[in-house]
Chain A
Amino acid sequence: MREISYRQALNEAMEEEMMRDPDVFLIGEEVAEYNGAYKVSQGLLEKFGPKRVLDTPISEAGFAGLGIGAAMVGLRPIVEFMTFSFSLVAFDQVVNNAPNMLTMSGGQFNIPIVFRGPNGPAHQLGATHSHATEPLYSNFPGLKVAVPATPRDAKGLLKTAIRDDNPVLVLESELLYNIAGPIEDKEVELLIPLGKAELKREGVDVTIICYAQTVRMALAAAEYLAKQGIQAEVLDLRSIKPLDRETIISSVSKTHRCVIAEQNKPFCGIGAEIAFQVQREIFDELDAPVLRVAQEEVPMPYNERLEAAVLPSQEKIIEAVYQVCYL
């Protein structure tokens, strides 16, 4: 098995899908001539030409709407947001037009669109550029939300998203673009279904649910805990919506304890929803209250140390595990 970076995995996914289907095209700020602000679209302009790889003005609402219009007439746009913090400018397009068109047109127009780009805090980007938007978008029926943590998942999920006949958001992470990981050879068609979590590590004492940026923290925490005799099961959600309830429930039924490590703010966050589902389904299996590790409830500080204090971390996950294990 070869290893490639998360960035390269996304690039391969787009390249393969654009080769396969001439209706697929990419638009966004700097995606063409500059090869993408984070170089995710490297080489695509050269390969597919300016009709299929388009630079846009700095006007998120404009090009997100343009994508939706193109999708209504049968194309399959990939809309890159330079960061999902900027997608908020196009919020109305993403949450109102994209997911509602199918219902409101009485089934006449489905919107096979992908919105993708880096999401969540990176490093010292300050309060306005550090938004983890997954709870916002997961709140809207009609939107699917993928949150890959590894190069393999990034490629497999993005390819699946492009083939989906309805709007899908692929929430990447600036902090993950450079990480490398094992992946199937290029000849192998890699499609990872939405709504399927992955068991990253088996354990019996506690389930740590994580996704995207928190997966590495959770795995490191589990490694540390194992040395103390606590066997943590680590579950990478991979998609927030659809949510793999079945795998969550079966894991927590086994361990009787659950810690959710999320990269967003806690209030009305992903952890809140999962905690609800868990207590709703398997109240009698819980031996401790469900805990979550999230960002602190403040605007993201620019100061590096304050930022570190606000973000979820391996240490905070370990602390939460101790609590649910009554240690």
Chain B
Amino acid sequence: MAQIIMPKLSDTMTEGVVVRWLKKAGDVVNMGDVLAEIETDKATMEMEAFDEGVLKEVYVQEGQKIAVGEPIALIRGEEEESASPETVEKIHAVPKRRIAQEKARIPQPKLAEVQHARDTADVEEGYSRVHQKRAGTAGPGAAGDTAGGRVKASPLARKVASKMNLDLSRIEGSGPGGRIIQEDVLAAAGQKAVVSTPSVVALPVGSAAEAELIPLTPMRRVIAQRMVESKSQIPHFYLQVELDAGPMLQLRSQANKSLTISGEGKLSINDFVLKACVEALGRVPQVNSSFSENGILRYKRVHLGFAVSLEEGLITPIIRNAENKSLRQISAEAKELSERARGKKLKPNEYQGGTFTVSNLGGFDIDNFQAIINPPQAAILAVGSVIKKPVVGNQDQIVVGHRLGFTLCCDHRVLDGATGARFLQELRKLIENPTLMLI
């Protein structure tokens, strides 16, 4: 993956204007293709691609002025779609990118040469990088399938796995050459936290009613299995609140006016709720956790799931590393993921591995409801619709309020009432003072 930054095209250039994009998001980009026209303090110049792949994202609108070094777009290699981490390369500056190109052109050293080089000079880092890349071309896979059955794992991953009594050979490594790293072990432990999956036992059907048998689709089966598992094993409790959505609605309509003028996608209420959850999870990280036999796993990143209903069930696409994303990025990503979810185009890593979920039935005029936790997560937020109703105002007068119902459904093994309540307090602060989400 290559981050494209605003290049320094002249000695005195400190910022540049993207005059025109010649490629748009989704376009295939070859090395040397002109990506955009950049206006510097001296001239308008063409910016070429130094990487190939798909132009994944364009961060900057035409006409926008950007400081040198700031990211303006993202190119992702075509074979990287499922992002094998060892092939991910971040590039910072044009000269550096050139160096990377030079490096790429250097033929891979033969073993004897490498040995010689190692004997004569210190090329340790360079060597291991080449070596890892080569080993890595096989892509990550079950670590067990490395030659001779040796499992490649970092020392820390080994220690953590042995503490948790996990078999490394069953864990998929995401590091270079399939190396298992700590995160892989924790992820595996999180899955294990779900423990044995009970088969779905159907309750006896009453004989009186006439019925038509609808065969179970694979999705229906999975939903049934996971929900039974969750509701029977996880001690749920529920915390319900009603928030003032007025300020958020105001901000949203204001923002959407400007976004409509510039022809961009509008922000939905759910976008605000998602962003508020991300912020609140940062403030009360206990909620961003999983229960496992060996302890509570508290996740460092927020992989935010949100339920999308489909004809035959539902699915929860994941916004990965949401803690680093702005409201607009979250909105765009949610929209894009929902569309692909409805078209059944999601890849497994786009709906697995979430750390918290939001389920919104606001669009169906539900005031407030309780949801079932999506294991191995510790909580799910159920979101109702905004309802106009009379509320008591600041001066004890009755005013028209826009009220939004939230229910936080918690796993009591991980969270206690007070922790859940604190999370909801933070959510309230954010929803009722929505400008906090923008800064």
Chain A residues at the B interface, C-beta cutoff of 8 Å: 204-205, 228-229, 256, 266-267, 283-289, 291-292, 297, 309, 315, 318-319, 322-323, 326-327
Contacts and interface: CB of A to CB of B under 8 A. Distances in A.
B413 interface: no
Contacts of A292: 125
Contacts of A266: 122, 124-125
A309 B99 CA distance: 10
A228 B156 contact: no
A327 B99 CA distance: 19
A225 to B, nearest CB: 11
B313 to A, nearest CB: 33
Contacts of A322: 90
Contacts of B181: 287-288, 326
B92 interface: yes
B93 interface: yes
22 contacts: A204-B300, A205-B300, A228-B324, A229-B323, A266-B124, A266-B125, A284-B156, A284-B159, A285-B155, A285-B156, A286-B154, A287-B154, A287-B157, A287-B182, A288-B154, A289-B128, A291-B125, A297-B122, A322-B90, A323-B129, A326-B85, A326-B175
Contacts of B25: none
A315 B5 CA distance: 13
Q: Is the interface of B mostly helix, strand, loop or mixed?
A: helix
Contact of A283 (B129, B155, B182, B301): B155
Q: Is the interface on chain B under 10, 10 to 19, 20 to 34, or 35 or more residues?
A: 20 to 34
Given A283-B155, A288-B154, A327-B85, 5 more contacts: A284-B155, A287-B156, A315-B93, A326-B86, A327-B90
Nearest to A228: B324
A319 B92 CA distance: 9
Interface in B69-110: 85-86, 88, 90, 92-93, 96, 99
A288 B152 CA distance: 12
Contacts of A323: 129
A326 B176 contact: yes
A323 B128 CA distance: 12
A78 to B, nearest CB: 35
Contacts of B300: 204-205
A256 B156 contact: yes
A287 B158 CA distance: 9
Interface string B124-141: 110011000000000000
Contacts of A204: 300
